[in-house]
Amino acid sequence: MKLLKNNSAASKLKQLKTFISAYKSAVVAYSGGVDSTLLLKVTADTLGKNNTLAVLALSETYPESDRATAQNVVKKLGVKCITIRTSELQNRNFRKNPKLRCYYCKSELFSKISRIATEHKIRTIFDGSNYDDLSDYRPGRIALKEFRVTSPLLQTGINKKGVRAISRLLGLPTWNKPQMACLASRIPYGTMITKETLVKIDKAEDILRKFGFINVRVRDYQGTARIEVSQEQINRFFKNGLRNKVTGAFKKLGYKFVTVDLEGYRTGSMNL
């Protein structure tokens, strides 16, 4: 990965701190990913830990393996964190998986974060959207506007590459962490979302990570798994019998057919 030079990262970091310094306190929607971890770190450094509150949401829509990592990172940062559970699957509009699915998910999340902010008398909510998010279909941003959520990374023009560069500059362990995304994004629009399907996808992606794949997505087509991994790792499936090992493991999960997307991993492929 080609990173920004340190002086560019330092300049962006200064802009981010200047933006955040305009606020007295903030609740940060924290997931443990590279974006929200950087935002939480800089917010705490700028406003002070006593004026920064992290909220970590747990749900069937996020990988099980990320939970412990997120909790460990926020503990090291020394920021107070409230853990909540969101209930997207109780919303039939979300389960029906329309193109506005992300809106219903974010509405559930920020309605609960807003209540926490009110209870702690904090007027500002930050989220980790970055500038690259403007290039993809993101109906969840409608919910962010409704709940008056501020996106410092996006509003200071910091993209994912910049986030990683600043994170590395600050020595954050998440600087090279693979990009996270809601597990529901692996299911084609119009296909009902169930807890069972989300659990199966989570287990399938965990299998790939244990086999050494880094950026992974398992797109679920009701019996067929379409695997996306980084292009440079695709050939690994055809060495040392790995193809048969992955296929066997996936079939034990209930997949009848297992395919590898030759275009490789890319975000937003379900929006094409």
Q: Is 15 found in the same domain as 144?
A: yes
Out of 123, 141, 169, pick the residue that ends a domain: 169
Burial class of residue 21 in the structure, from the number of CB atoms within 10 Å of its CB (0-12 exposed, 13-18 middle, 19+ buried): exposed
Q: Is 132 found in the same domain as 79?
A: yes
- For the cut 90, the answer to whether the pLDDT of residue 137 exceeds it is no
> Which residue has 């965990």 as its token pair?
206
Distance from C-alpha of 146 to C-alpha of 129, rounded to nearest angstrom: 15
Q: 126 near 152, Cβ under 8 Å?
A: yes
Q: Is 146 found in the same domain as 46?
A: yes
Q: Is 25 found in the same domain as 114?
A: yes
CA distances from 16 to 23, 26, 157 (A): 12, 14, 9
- For the cut 70, the answer to whether the pLDDT of residue 203 exceeds it is yes
pLDDT number for residue 25 = 98
CA angle 101, 36, 45 (to 5 degrees): 150
Tell me the per-residue pLDDT of 2-60, one tens digit each, with 9 for 90 and over. 444 445 999 999 999 999 999 999 999 999 999 999 999 999 999 999 999 999 999 99
Q: Residue 44 belongs to a domain with what CATH number? A: 3.40.50.620
Q: With the CA atoms of 197, 198, 204 and 210 taken in that order, what torsion angle do they form, in degrees rounded to the nearest 10?
A: -160
Question: pTM of the prediction?
Answer: 0.91
Note down the domain range covering 194. 183-271
How many domains would you assign to the chain?
Answer: 2
pLDDT number for residue 4 = 45
Mean pLDDT within 83-98: 96
Residue 200 counted as domain residue? yes
Q: Is 119 found in the same domain as 248?
A: no
pLDDT number for residue 217 = 96
Tokens of 7: 């002086």
Would you say the C-alpha torsion 141, 30, 114, 186 has a positive or negative sign?
positive
Q: How confident is the model at residue 181 (pLDDT cuts 50, 70, 90)?
A: confident
Residue 24 counted as domain residue? yes
Q: Is 233 found in the same domain as 107?
A: no
Out of 109, 135, 169, pick the residue that ends a domain: 169
pLDDT, the chain, mean: 94
Share of the chain above pLDDT 90, in %: 89
Residue 176 counted as domain residue? no
Q: Is 226 found in the same domain as 161?
A: no
Out of 169, 193, 214, pick the residue that ends a domain: 169
- For the cut 60, the answer to whether the pLDDT of residue 214 exceeds it is yes
Q: Is 68 found in the same domain as 164?
A: yes
Terminal C-alpha separation, the chain: 26
Residue 175 counted as domain residue? no
DSSP for 35-93? HHHHHHHHHHHHH-GGGEEEEEEE-TTS-THHHHHHHHHHHHHT--EEEEE--GGG-HH
